[in-house]
A and B are shown apart, each in its own frame.
Chain A
Amino acid sequence: MRVELQNVRHVYAPGTPFEVEALRDVSLAVEPDEVLGIVGGTGSGKSTLAQHLNLLLEPTSGRVLVDARTLKGGELRRRVGLVFQFPEAALFAPTVEEDVAFAPRRLGLDEDVVRQRVRETLELLGARHLAGRSPFALSGGEKRRVAIAGVLAMAPEVLVLDEPTAGLDPATREDLLGVVRALREGGTSVVLVSHDLDEVAEVADRVCVLEEGKVRAVGTPEEVFYAHPEASLAPTTVRVVAPLREGRPEVGRPVRFEETLAALKGLLEGRG
């Protein structure tokens, strides 16, 4: 499934003194089977863009197309799962199992299919052992896993994660990035909205940089990050390698941590 934004513009509170143009003429597509990273500073329009991908926000002008067709919001929401920032704020059921079952039940699935979905999703997020507990008695990281499972249990074709790792410990964060990779392997596209360039660098197939509501750059991580190796636009790996590349093109353009480590090793050994 391919979700495409065409010339999307979004204005909050139009016609009032509080009017804000959050997105200005954004065109961008989420391709099938990819992890698309969306990066940008606070107020760059990342979260607004995320909510357009399942039409929770309607564009002020422009279109949202799915496989070149327009869909109604309700239909789109079944196929594109959106996990908001701090999704644990929306946990509500007495048990984890019930909470995760909410979305698949809303889809009208059979009870045994729902149960199976819940089990599989909790398993994927490493939260199977929490099924019988109250979501309010969990730790921050556990709540986050459960809340993400609550959306993933709909089995969406595209999963949009808005700052999924904000405020998490490094271990849970690594686990979540692992989940993103696993989903992509399983054929689900993932849109990872984040201000953390390092984590986007680890998992993204393509990167889109938003700035003041406009797409400033879009492409593979190598293209985007090596075009702007400044501190505010590139992950640590690129900021380390970019200055070393001068006169040593053989280093290449590594972005992920392991690639970068291998490239630097190669450089050191070559010299010795």
Chain B
Amino acid sequence: MMAGRTLGQFYPVESPLHELDARAKILATGIMAVGLFLVDSVAGFLLIAAAVVLLVAASRVPSGTFLNFLKPVALIVSLTVIFQVFFSREGATLLEWGFLEVHEGGLVRGLFLALRILLLVSTAALLTATTAPVKLADGIEDLLSPLKRLRFPAHELAMMITIALRFIPTLHEEAQKITRAQAARGADFSEGGPIRRARAMLPVLVPLTIGAFRRADELAEAMESRGYRGGEGRTRYRELRFRARDALALAAAALVVIGGILV
């Protein structure tokens, strides 16, 4: 059914960002993430923020939809800002009101932290919005494949990610069905305190878990009956191609981040 658009959902349109190789996008997101922790100036943040805004525009994801992706973190961001602003006693005092004091250092730190989280989430949302889950998993597998020599299960990991992503909507639908079935038997999920409400969820969680295990069994059998025997010698239907433009995109991301750190 309709799960609503939330963080980390693929938005299927055609755009230059959608066309890029998944590996390039994963690496670029990684570079941005690391870089954001090193940036420590207003100019640096502005540079990266401008780059992110440009990328969102290039992704052809409507800005309203994109802002929706950020909604889930709004609470965390505002909490961090509040804590930083009121509980940090660094720099000149700007405001005093009873036991609350706002210091310059706290304000700046709070702002930086908020920007850092928002930009981090934005780049991650850009990655998942412009990369189909299957391609994302393929990209991760490929990037991790050098670790196979160290017996790191790269293929298995990618397969797990793909399957997990594939079954989120299925489980969501199943949960809704069970919830309605229990509601028909008089279950009420909205009354009482948190503990009573958690207990009220048991009639949904138990069958949901059992169903998930049954599904896993069935899926394993279906995969085996179609000849799946792990990653060894397995070819791909979608071949990954790292082209010049992917290298270019990666270089651009690195440049922006280095620029952001240096200014």
Q: How many residues of B contact A (CB 8 A)?
A: 20
What B residues does A102 contact at CB under 8 A?
Answer: 185-187, 203
Determine the residue in chain A with the shortest Cβ distance to B211.
A89
CB-defined contacts of A82 to chain B, threshold 8 Å? 184
Interface size on A, residues (CB 8 A): 27
Supposing A56-B180, A89-B207 touch, asked if A78 and B174 sit within 8 A by C-beta, the answer is no
Q: Are B184 and A89 in contact (CB under 8 A)?
A: no
- Using known A-B contacts A51-B180, A90-B181, determine if residue A106 contacts B206 with beta carbons closer than 8 Å: no
Q: Given A16-B2, A92-B206, does the pair A84, B177 have CB atoms closer than 8 Å?
A: yes
For residue B202, CB closer than 8 A to chain A, the reply is yes
Please, which residues of chain A bring their CB within 8 A of the CB of B210? 136
Distance in angstroms between the alpha carbons of A82 and B188 in the assembled complex: 16
Asked whether any CB of chain A lies closer than 8 Å to the CB of B53, the reply is no
- Bound CA span A110–B210, Å: 31
Given A13-B2, A106-B187: A87 touches B203 (CB 8 Å cut-off) = no
User: How close is A89's CB to chain B, nearest CB, in angstroms?
Assistant: 6
Q: Are A90 and B186 in contact (CB under 8 A)?
A: no
Q: Are B186 and A87 in contact (CB under 8 A)?
A: no
Do B174 and A89 have beta carbons less than 8 Å apart? yes
- State the Cβ distance, A160 to closest chain B Cβ, in Å: 9
Q: Which one, B2, B185, B211, contacts A106 given CB within 8 A?
A: B185
List residues of B whose CB falls within 8 A of some A CB.
2, 174, 177-178, 180-188, 202-204, 206-207, 210-211
Q: Which 10 A-B pairs have the closest CB atoms?
A: A106-B186, A90-B181, A103-B185, A92-B206, A82-B184, A92-B203, A84-B181, A92-B207, A90-B178, A103-B186
Q: Residues of A at under 8 Å CB distance from B?
A: 13, 16, 18, 51, 54, 56, 74, 77-78, 81-84, 87, 89-93, 102-103, 106-107, 136, 150-151, 154
What 17 additional pairs, Cβ within 8 angstroms, besides A77-B186, A103-B186?
A54-B184, A81-B184, A84-B180, A84-B181, A89-B178, A89-B207, A90-B178, A90-B182, A90-B185, A92-B182, A92-B204, A93-B203, A103-B185, A106-B185, A151-B184, A151-B185, A154-B186
